[in-house]
Structure 1
Amino acid sequence: MNLTADVCQEYSCPERSVSFPVYVILYVAAAAVALLTVCGNLLVIISVSHFKQLHTPANILILSLAASDLLVGVFVMPLHLSWVIEFCWISGPVMCSFFTLVTFQATCVSVHTVALISVDRFLALNFPFFYSEKISPTVICIATLFNWLFSLLYNFTLLFINGNFTVMCPGQCFYIIDRVSSFIDLQVVFLMPCTLIIILYTRVFVIVRKHVTAIRAVQVHNSKETSKKRVSEKSERKAASALGILVFVFLLCLLPYFICSVVISYSNDDLFYVRDVTVIFFLLNSTINPIIYALFYPWFQKSLKLIFTFKVLKKDSSLMNVL
């Protein structure tokens, strides 16, 4: 209780320091980002769920990532951006605890889903026969469900059972985590999965490069076969580029938050608000992901055309070709 009282004495809602027009612009921008995040990820979810051709292990993982990003757009972004704009928490103690849990849940699920995507791509390229026989959509659905349940249990324990707690002062909402818990969280949610992601994607790029080199080395005499080889080479390059951009943007958005969290756990300085600002970078990743899909995944582009032209409402539209 003393810790909570000390923290509450240090924080209070400051008076608004920006003009009313700027204030309105900030809220309009925040609403636009949240709406773009919700709509983009909702389109990904509809596409993968509706079209049967997209019910593949890799796309089920993309569906899981889009679901966590949708969670960010619906619950986390509006509350967090409002908090940053107001310099004050205005949503009450119940929403404070809910907001903290959902933020941790979305972060944990997103990181581990990207790690699962890296494992999926590595197995598909390095062990194609094993992948086709053993890695079915059912297996990936079980792994995805386990990821969500593990993340929920882990974060609930971290925030509410393990001696850590959410502080709700007048106008403030933040969590207190001891150094041991902070170190464990750093390992579970950042270092271990991100190390796995980097190692496996490095291997993926090496394998793709070998495939492209092999395709180039094949001597063909038929112009039609040559054209097919070029299409295959272009497809592998594009897939590798999409994966690289997705992972690079993900790590770039995630890194500032975890660096700040580590610094806070070993510092006596008032850096809570700085940490809350770094959260914005991670939230923006949920907005960027659907844009990456739209730019680099042809199946998503075709799905969007069918959705926006309302062809998705026709009978048996789920059987349409989107590949």
Structure 2
Amino acid sequence: TLTYVMTHTENENPCYLKLLNIELQSCTTLRNQVSRISLYAFLSVGIVCTVVGNFLVVLSIAYFKQLQSPTNSFVMSLAVADCLVGLVVMPYSMIRTVEGCWYFGVLFCKLHSSLDVMLCTASIFHLSCIAFDRYYAVCNPLVYSLKMSRSRVALLIVVCWAVPMLISFGPIMLDLHVAGVDILLPKDECVFLVNRIYAVMASLVAFYLPMAVMLIAYWKIFQAAKRQARQINAMESQMAAGVGKDSSKKQRHRNTMKRERKAAKTLGIIMGVFLIFWMPFFTVNIVDPFIEYSTEVVIWDIFLWLGYINSSLNPFLYGFFNRSFRRAFLIISKPQITILETFTKG
């Protein structure tokens, strides 16, 4: 904070204004002890769910060969990104949210902001790749194995990590994201302010372009699902009338189409959850620099934690809607439950 102080010396004019750069401690904890403990408990549960849920997804795909498909390669990489959000981003964000202060220094504030942007963007990129993968699986199944070869999946996963790293660490560590911003923040606060150019460009790359890819992909999948539903109905009518001798082949085809429709529905729900939890943050992120950074801190915290919740929900959405994942989760967790029960009884 800049403060003008009246001073007087013998060799200079009796009175003049001297500009002193005095650093004031502006960080104050406004919450009482009960609310802080409650917030810590609530947010800690979210962090634990994020880490454990995503770790189970990674473990399931790594352990069970039947889960090792092109789509699940994206799912596994997504779970790694979401797990890292829970491990290295959310705990420090929790302390900042509850205490209202930043205790870890200016350099770590930049590093934390860079990791936050990179990992959340990587999570969003993976969701768009999953939608792209499902589009080919449902709408172009004949060319799916060609379009989604192992090398192409690996390349897309590299892009999902490399692009978020470029738009986060480079601009933030070099202070390019705050170029032209004339707001002096105390060292005990870690507020992620961005200039207008970075706000628009980063939001477009990190959210709006992947969102457009997902919306187009899921619209195409929805159209294909409707066509498949009509085919299933026609096939059932034929089977009921006793038409067609190769009923077992038709049954297999019918089950395949049902599985693809269910996969499209599952990923559609994930898309809806993604929009609900991330749209508020990225909307405010673009608007805030154009309204002179007048958005309240509590609004930022609410919208940011909504985005974090998306990382918490992804593994539960897979576990709830995907039978293979449900079985894998049960097999993995069974020994832990048995050990826990034995320990409790003993």
TM-score, normalisation: structure 1? 0.86
Query: C-alpha separation between the residues in 1 aligned to 2:128 and 2:25?
Result: 37
**2:111·2:173 contact (CA, 8 Å) conserved in 1?**
no
Q: Does 1:174 align with 2:199?
A: no
Q: Does 1:248 align with 2:272?
A: yes
| 1:237-293 deviation line (CA, Å, top 9, x unaligned) | 432321111000011111010111112110124326122331110000011111111
1:81-160 map, 5 Å: 81-160=94-173
Deviation at 1:306, TM superposition (A): 1.8
Query: C-alpha separation between the residues in 1 aligned to 2:126 and 2:335?
Result: 31
| 1:204-229 deviation line (CA, Å, top 9, x unaligned) | 11111211211111212377677656
Query: C-alpha separation between the residues in 2 aligned to 1:191 and 1:38?
Result: 26
Moved more, 233-242 or 89-98: 233-242
Q: Does 1:235 align with 2:248?
A: no
- What SS is found at the alignment partner of 1:174? coil
Deviation at 1:10, TM superposition (A): 10
Deviation at 1:51, TM superposition (A): 1.6
Query: C-alpha separation between the residues in 1 aligned to 2:116 and 2:25?
Result: 22
Deviation at 1:79, TM superposition (A): 1.1
**1:64·1:144 contact (CA, 8 Å) conserved in 2?**
yes
267 and 113 in structure 1: CA distance in 2 versus 1, 3 angstrom threshold: same
205 and 46 in structure 1: CA distance in 2 versus 1, 3 angstrom threshold: same
| 1:87-131 deviation line (CA, Å, top 9, x unaligned) | 222232232112101110012111211111111111122222221
- What SS is found at the alignment partner of 2:190? strand
- What SS is found at the alignment partner of 2:284? helix
Query: C-alpha separation between the residues in 2 aligned to 1:68 and 1:234?
Result: 30
**Partner in structure 2 of residue 75 of structure 1:** 88
Q: Does 1:213 align with 2:230?
A: yes
- What SS is found at the alignment partner of 1:90? coil
Deviation at 1:297, TM superposition (A): 0.6
Q: Does 1:309 align with 2:323?
A: no
Query: C-alpha separation between the residues in 2 aligned to 1:158 and 1:289?
Result: 29
Query: C-alpha separation between the residues in 2 aligned to 1:187 and 1:121?
Result: 23
**2:57·2:315 contact (CA, 8 Å) conserved in 1?**
yes
**2:196·2:290 contact (CA, 8 Å) conserved in 1?**
yes
226 and 116 in structure 1: CA distance in 2 versus 1, 3 angstrom threshold: closer
**Partner in structure 1 of residue 42 of structure 2:** 29
The alignment-based identity, stated in percent, is 27
93 and 162 in structure 1: CA distance in 2 versus 1, 3 angstrom threshold: closer
Greater RCO structure (CA 8 Å; 6+ sep): 1
Paired residue type of 2:204: Q
Query: C-alpha separation between the residues in 2 aligned to 1:10 and 1:244?
Result: 50
15 and 119 in structure 1: CA distance in 2 versus 1, 3 angstrom threshold: closer
Query: C-alpha separation between the residues in 1 aligned to 2:105 and 2:313?
Result: 30
Paired residue type of 1:136: S
**Partner in structure 1 of residue 52 of structure 2:** 39
- What SS is found at the alignment partner of 1:266? helix
- The answer for unaligned runs of 5 or more in structure 2 is 3-21, 337-346
Deviation at 1:162, TM superposition (A): 6.4
**2:270·2:314 contact (CA, 8 Å) conserved in 1?**
yes
- What SS is found at the alignment partner of 2:144? helix
197 and 9 in structure 1: CA distance in 2 versus 1, 3 angstrom threshold: farther
Moved more, 86-95 or 45-54: 86-95
**1:55·1:137 contact (CA, 8 Å) conserved in 2?**
no
Deviation at 1:152, TM superposition (A): 0.8
Query: C-alpha separation between the residues in 2 aligned to 1:50 and 1:137?
Result: 19
**What is the number of equivalent residue pairs in this alignment?**
305
**2:115·2:168 contact (CA, 8 Å) conserved in 1?**
no
**Partner in structure 2 of residue 201 of structure 1:** 218
Paired residue type of 1:192: L
